Structure 1
Amino acid sequence: MIYESNCKKIGLICTSLDNMAGGLERQIIRTCQSIESLGYTVVLFSYDNEDAQSFYPIPSTIKWEKCGCGLKPHSSASKLKRFKQLRYLRERVKKNSISHLITFHHGLFPRTFVACLFLGVKLIVSERNALSNYNYISLPKFNSGYLSLFLSHKITVQLKTYISDYPKQLRNKIVVIPNFIKDPLPEYIAPNIESKNIAMMGRLCAQKNFRPLLDQLSERENEFEGLKVYIAGEGSEREEFEDKYSKLIHNSKLVLLGNIANIDQFLMQSAIFCFPSLWEGYPNSLVEAIRLGLPILTSKRMSRLNEFVENGVNGLIVDDRDLLDSTIYLLKNPDLLRKMSFESYKKYQVLCLQAPQGKWAEVLKSRQ
């Protein structure tokens, strides 16, 4: 063992933070801050290059190690270049005397495992997605990332319902740790129910599944006067969105806001939060919406997220083909929207009773 058993230096690693404004980025910074408040020294690792800039501020007490070595995050590389990158990561882990290294999602874990081989570092995989994502991506489930989970010391998942997705041989390693979330509002303040604004939030990518509602609106844009869709987020599909939905954009039925800093202000201007994702882990944008009391419209794929959304209570859970019809139904029933709004607010109060910091403390103290 290279490190002392009482070493209190914790590393967290993700692919990239460079101008990334998603829920994962907000969450990794909150996790760093919370672990630091337990008395640990925290180092944040990423495969960014030196010119990378975090969209969200990283506290000055948390060291950010950029281990890109000239390679572009989220891209392929030759074996030689990847080896040099992992060797550099290994050197940074050793130099910082890291005792526990938390990898944000299993797809990245094989690199972490190789870089830390024989260093005696406790390796923790913090899952960021439900394994249902394999139903929607081309990568087969039994890939190197998934199989490498057997080499981890601990696995954290965000919801109890996700445990059954894993083989029985792995379940003794799994700890349920929900995401860190903001403090609740001191009192209920209704969002802009009368606005007819529909908010969606997330990267412009296939996973977030914004297209069904936009396709339906394109075909029936004049059916309900005043309805507008606002999307906060940036991504690889922006040009496709601008081309395919150019008429909606021109007619001010669709507004692509890009990355935004003030999420609360954006959400409070809306009547409904639409959440049609193909898959999620812990639904950060959904949680931020219910904190502000937004009624929720989501897909039946999210039906097991009942601690966030209950059909007919604080929102509607529908098929993709019914997204626009359900939106119009809710907008035509403002009294129902107000009731659902307050129910969302109440749900958030319950979510705030969870204690992720204590769970992380237990994992980091574990000798297994």
Structure 2
Amino acid sequence: MRLLFAYRAFDNIAGGVQKTSVDLMNEMVGRGHEVHLLTWDNANATSYFPLHENIEWHKIDTGSFKKRATWMARIQRMMRVRKLVSNICPDVVIGYQDGMFVAMRLYTAFMNVPVIAAERNAASRFQYIQAGKHKNLVFQSFRLAKFITVQCQSYPNDYPAYLRHKIRVISNPVYPAKCVAEPEGPNIDNKILLSVGRLGFQKNYAILVKAFAEIAAQFPDWTLKIIGEGEDRAKLESLIKSKKLTQQILLPGTTESVSEQYCSAHLFCLPSRWEGFPNALAEAMAHGLPCVGLDSCSGVRDLINPSRNGYLAKSQNDHDYKALSETLKKAMTDHTTRKIMGENARNDMTQYDPSVIYTMWENLFLESMK
């Protein structure tokens, strides 16, 4: 097969979408397929994650992906995309996220090439973002998709009935952990409540800081560590300082050895407002960590089974830190249950074996050609 993967931007972006996409493209090359990558990036763009040498990256280099494109830029992009598609004749085009899908579907109109809409977030995100007012337009555009991919089993329920026959659920792959955590930690003086993610609105870290602050005095042997960077760092630092917890709540930034962070932790929490496939949560579970999340977040709810591998806080809304605080307290108190849940979490992640996930993608590409 000849596959064309389309994204807004790849230039030195260390994002989850880019990481999982590079893995998928590299795997497809390894399986003997011809793979092309299309982005709006400029000609000097480089990939943060290593691309297979046989992947041809087409950088459209018109306008800036950081700004709303002018009509002239859109026309130039359309002409370049149509010329590219005419030259390489892809069997399938995969447009990542709704904006790029719409562009590729419009720019390849009447070219007789199937386009897959690869969604990377739950539709519930529309209640939080400015683009939410265009939700119905996005859904209408998906009528033009050959298929729509979502990442969790509950996500099709958030789509209109007229689209559900097009939806296929393909989760992200979860790789086996290089080490295993010991979440019980009964004899360790300093236990770690870990979180990993971008310090931004979506991940909702203020609620975690507030929840931990409520119980910090009761658990002097616990430290909250949030790995990541983002635009909310200053706000979070100010909040931590106001709680007088600069020694018990840490923001160490990013790390290249995140696996070591999972293995040295005793509990994991992801307080997201919404998710696509929560990679950090899945990785934590693969390392044998019991996890805590908000019941209001469907992606988190899909992975955490409260009776088996973790805890879900029954928050009234995305800033109800009291409910999260009580849930954390329960998990931090019971080291025996943490051990059992950690073992279950690790076993549960085997269902996302990479070879199985990549075969699902490959089969979808083949189905799209029919």
What band does the TM-score fall into relative to the shorter chain?
0.7 to 0.9
Q: Any idea what SS the aligned residue of 2:133 has? A: coil
Match of 1:175 in 2: 168
Give 1:243-282 correspondences, 5 Å limit: 243-246=238-241, 251-282=246-277
Give 1:30-45 correspondences, 5 Å limit: 30-45=23-38
- CA contact 2:139–2:160 (8 Å) conserved in 1: no
- CA contact 1:189–1:293 (8 Å) conserved in 2: yes
> Structure 1 CA distance, aligned partners of 2:32 and 2:337?
47
Match of 1:108 in 2: 100
Structure 2: which amino acid aligns with 1:89?
V
Residue 52 (structure 1) aligned with residue 45 (structure 2) = yes
> Structure 2 CA distance, aligned partners of 1:354 and 1:215?
40
Give 1:228-307 correspondences, 5 Å limit: 228-246=223-241, 251-302=246-297
**Unmatched 5+ stretches in structure 1:** 1-7
Residue 133 (structure 1) aligned with residue 133 (structure 2) = no
> Structure 2 CA distance, aligned partners of 1:151 and 1:145?
11
Structure 1: which amino acid aligns with 2:161?
K
> Structure 2 CA distance, aligned partners of 1:207 and 1:309?
19
Q: Any idea what SS the aligned residue of 2:116 has? A: strand
CA RMSD between the two structures = 2.7
Match of 2:333 in 1: 332
Q: Any idea what SS the aligned residue of 1:19 has? A: coil
> Structure 2 CA distance, aligned partners of 1:25 and 1:353?
16
Structure 1: which amino acid aligns with 2:237?
E
Equivalent residues, number = 359
- CA contact 1:205–1:235 (8 Å) conserved in 2: yes
Match of 1:97 in 2: 89
> Structure 1 CA distance, aligned partners of 2:354 and 2:348?
10
1:217 Cα deviation (Å)? 3.8
1:305 Cα deviation (Å)? 5.3
The verdict on how the C-alpha distance between 1:240 and 1:50 changes in structure 2, with shifts beyond 3 A counting, is: farther
Structure 2: which amino acid aligns with 1:198?
L
Q: Any idea what SS the aligned residue of 2:303 has? A: coil
TM-score, normalised with respect to structure 1: 0.87
- CA contact 1:188–1:342 (8 Å) conserved in 2: no
> Structure 1 CA distance, aligned partners of 2:4 and 2:157?
28
1:220 Cα deviation (Å)? 5.9
TM-score, normalised with respect to structure 2: 0.86
Structure 2: which amino acid aligns with 1:215?
K
1:297 Cα deviation (Å)? 0.6
1:177 Cα deviation (Å)? 1.7
Structure 2: which amino acid aligns with 1:342?
E
Give 1:12-91 correspondences, 5 Å limit: 12-71=5-64, 73-91=65-83
Residue 9 (structure 1) aligned with residue 2 (structure 2) = yes
> Structure 2 CA distance, aligned partners of 1:112 and 1:88?
11
> Structure 1 CA distance, aligned partners of 2:211 and 2:153?
35
The verdict on how the C-alpha distance between 1:114 and 1:36 changes in structure 2, with shifts beyond 3 A counting, is: same
- CA contact 2:286–2:345 (8 Å) conserved in 1: yes
Residue 311 (structure 1) aligned with residue 306 (structure 2) = yes
Q: Any idea what SS the aligned residue of 1:50 has? A: coil
Residue 145 (structure 1) aligned with residue 145 (structure 2) = no
Sequence identity, in percent?
Answer: 26
1:113 Cα deviation (Å)? 1.4
